[in-house]
Chain A
Amino acid sequence: MRDETKVLLTIERDRQTRTMHALLIIALLCLITAFFAILNLGLGTVHYSPLEIIRSFFRGGNVDTYVIVMDYRFPRIALALLVGAALATSGVIAQSVLRNPLASPSTLGISGGSGLAALITSMFFSSMGPFIISLSAFAGGGLVALAIYLFAYEKGVAPIRLAIVGVAIGAFCSAGIQLLVAKSGDNVSIALMWLSGSLWGRTWEQVWQITPIILVILPIAWLLAIRLNIMRLGDSVATALGLRVEVTRFLLLTCSVLLASAAVSAVGLIGFVGLVAPHMAKKIMGSRHQFILPTAALLGALLVLVSDYLGRALIPPIEIPAGLITAAIGAPYFLYLMWRESRKGSSI
């Protein structure tokens, strides 16, 4: 009897230390993110030191600095943070619900659907301005995701069927995108810019468009984290544990789709964040989604932020779209992570 108590106590203490570790890592990530955000705010035609930027937050110092930092640079940074967090969270949900490590928001049809919709709008209604393009990207992503869900529905949605249908419809959409790009001629460069995901020229308008959605959905996703833990165990186990699997799955997928399409509608297709940030978070945090979700969100935000910084800092005044850099730095880092993990002897 006493042994049992001792074991339970050890488990409890072990759990507490792990929780402490997790919280520490999250705090550390917050700090790093804040550091890069301030660094990023200083970069531009006019350079500012971190001190000047912090002072301008409190309306101290030069008025010009305040205007430039708050009106021009801040929305861009805010977008990078929001978009990164949204894509990464969306990816965690997609991977856990589909129980497939290769899943990402694009498996749910987001990049294909929003890309196609945005491209069509920008080609045929080019006078309508950026708001309409964002709106159609959001709607397109949602519609295609819904279509995938319905095509895969047959007495419930088996994850493997959803993944297969998602891949097929995604390929279909990207064929459409290629067709339009090959045919469009003059407008190609605008479309290409959008398709490669850039934070260039974003204003507070885009930030206000997506902030409500993302700030509402992120907490909801976190509240659903425990269900994600259960969903990962498989449909039959989850059912046996009393979870209404089909409803939960629909709810989670809806969160994932809304987050990703909001992100894509604001900045275009930034790939890879939704695939790689969840993996990094899982490698750091283990299997508890309460911790994986915030870690992934922070890592995603950091990845987009750093990519945007590098894209602007590498060969100024030319800007490389952040979407290209995310893959260019994310891919090697991810491979390194895999390699290091394999050294430790655990399988992938």
Chain B
Amino acid sequence: MQNLSEPFPTEQNNRQQLRKALGVFLISLLVLLVTFFLSVKIGAFHISISTLFKTLFQYSGSKEQVLVATARIPRAVVTVIIGANLGIAGALMQAITRNPLASPSIFGVNAGASVAIVFAIVVLSINNSLLLVFIAFLGGLLAVSIVYGMSASFKGGNIEVKMAFTGIVIQAFLSSITQGLLLFNEDKTESVLFWLAGSVTGMAWKHVWILLPFSLLAMLISVSLGRFISLISLGDEVAQGLGLRVALLRRFVIVLVVILSGVAVSVAGPIGFVGLIVPHMVRYLVGRDYRWVIPISAVFGSALLTLADVCSRFISFPYETPVGVVTALIGTPYFIYLARTKKGDLYEG
């Protein structure tokens, strides 16, 4: 439930909020730049700042420069895009379901993509990474359509609750299939296990080119829908009363969420927590105006994931730890803090 007793924003309030949101946006962009820089610089092989600039402005093809240009930078770019995708997808989900615990995985995107990838690698022995990305995306899409189709076929009740129920059941079903496949094909499991934990290791420019078009399109649409999302987050009655076609918009937003989280999971595996906590942080800082929450969630998500990726290189240096593990390690304490102090809006649901 939203706190409707809050007075409507006055003109002055509005301007104040605008300034605050703009400030948060700029600061978070700055943080993102710093983490991006760290992500390129730090690793098993240290890159000096001068090498970095030389790579950008006078490329000579030395060993270090090749490393920066073909491994570090694409990896960092992929991380930024995926973080932004997950941040926006989480914000959208929590707005349309009005449930502070909602995240894209409720629709079964992650479970579907996981089962598809494991099936493709273990049973069909597919190694082509581009093909795998495509298969994962299809798997995610299929799972979501099943969840949506089934919950729509149940009469009565409201769609969010039904989707949560169906989603959790389908997820359990799919993940038991995933585990079964893994269990009976031990020899091929190691790389799959790493993917399943969520990881941005070994990303190259081709991954960027897969991610970029879908993500950019979905992000732009999401940001432009901000004012409608704000309305929908106030409750169906309010939104309907203000002339919004709620059911249509909700379906459209679900498609956006699936695209955003689907491409992310297909490239990097299921990375939890970013979509769950980023929207909470952002709403805590700038309020519930989704015209701001959505873009800032994107930047926050990118910064958080990049930071987690940098940390993941230290946990068992020089080996890498799946970044999904790190986001959970960072996210949990923050989430408990949110649950204990009532400052966050965890209780509105």
B346 with A164: CB separation less than 8 A: yes
B179 with A347: CB separation less than 8 A: no
For chain A, residues 170 to 210, give those with C-beta under 8 angstroms from any C-beta of chain B.
171-172, 174-176, 178-179, 181-183, 185, 188-189, 192-193, 195-196
Residue interface mask B152-172, A partner, CB < 8 A = 1? 011111000110111011101
Shortest CB-to-CB span from A115 to chain B, Å, is 12
B165 with A338: CB separation less than 8 A: yes
Known: A327-B172, A347-B157. A151 touches B336 (CB 8 A): yes
Q: Which of A230-238, A257-265, A317-325 contacts B (4 or more CB under 8 A)?
A: A317-325
For chain B, residues 133 to 169, give those with C-beta under 8 angstroms from any C-beta of chain A.
150, 153-157, 161-162, 164-166, 168-169
A334 proximal to B (CB < 8 A): yes
A192 with B329: CB separation less than 8 A: no
A35 proximal to B (CB < 8 A): no
A348 with B168: CB separation less than 8 A: no
B156 with A347: CB separation less than 8 A: yes
A339 proximal to B (CB < 8 A): yes
Known: A188-B189, A335-B150. A171 touches B173 (CB 8 A): no
B109 proximal to A (CB < 8 A): no
A321 with B156: CB separation less than 8 A: no
Q: How far is the CA of A181 from the CA of B339 in the complex (A)?
A: 29
Closest to A102 in B: B168
Known: A161-B339, A185-B190. A342 touches B184 (CB 8 A): no
Contact of B321 among A179, A326, A328, A339 (CB under 8 A): A179
B155 with A345: CB separation less than 8 A: yes
Residue interface mask B177-220, A partner, CB < 8 A = 1? 10110111010011001101100000000000000000000000
Q: How far is the CA of A188 from the CA of B347 in the complex (A)?
A: 40
Shortest CB-to-CB span from A123 to chain B, Å, is 14
Number of interface residues, chain B, beta carbon within 8 A: 49
A175 with B153: CB separation less than 8 A: no
Residues of A within 8 A of B164 (CB): 102
Identify which of A178, A185, A193, A334 gathers the most chain B CB atoms within 10 Å of its CB. Answer: A178
A348 with B162: CB separation less than 8 A: yes
Residues of B within 8 A of A215 (CB): none
Interface size class of A (residues with CB under 8 A): 35 or more
Contact of A169 among B150, B161, B332 (CB under 8 A): B332
Identify which of A102, A182, A321 gathers the most chain B CB atoms within 10 Å of its CB. Answer: A182
B325 proximal to A (CB < 8 A): yes
A345 with B156: CB separation less than 8 A: yes
Residue interface mask B314-325, A partner, CB < 8 A = 1? 001000011011
Residues of B within 8 A of A151 (CB): 336, 339-340
Identify which of B161, B272, B336 gathers the most chain A CB atoms within 10 Å of its CB. Answer: B336
A192 with B182: CB separation less than 8 A: yes
Q: How far is the CA of A173 from the CA of B154 in the complex (A)?
A: 34
Closest to A328 in B: B176
B335 with A168: CB separation less than 8 A: yes
Shortest CB-to-CB span from A329 to chain B, Å, is 9
Contact of A165 among B153, B186, B336 (CB under 8 A): B336
Closest to A167 in B: B101
29 A–B contacts, CB within 8 A, in A order: A101-B165, A102-B165, A164-B346, A165-B335, A167-B101, A171-B273, A175-B197, A176-B325, A181-B193, A181-B197, A182-B190, A183-B316, A188-B193, A196-B180, A272-B176, A324-B176, A324-B177, A324-B179, A324-B183, A328-B180, A330-B172, A332-B173, A335-B150, A338-B154, A338-B165, A339-B153, A342-B155, A342-B156, A343-B155
Task: Mark B residues whose CB is within 8 Å of A.
Answer: 101, 150, 153-157, 161-162, 164-166, 168-170, 172-173, 175-177, 179-180, 182-184, 186, 189-190, 193-194, 196-197, 272-273, 316, 321-322, 324-325, 328-329, 331-332, 335-336, 339-340, 346-347
Q: A171-B328, A171-B331, A181-B197 are in contact. List 9 more A-B contacts (CB 8 A).
A: A175-B324, A175-B325, A179-B197, A179-B321, A181-B193, A192-B189, A196-B183, A347-B156, A347-B157
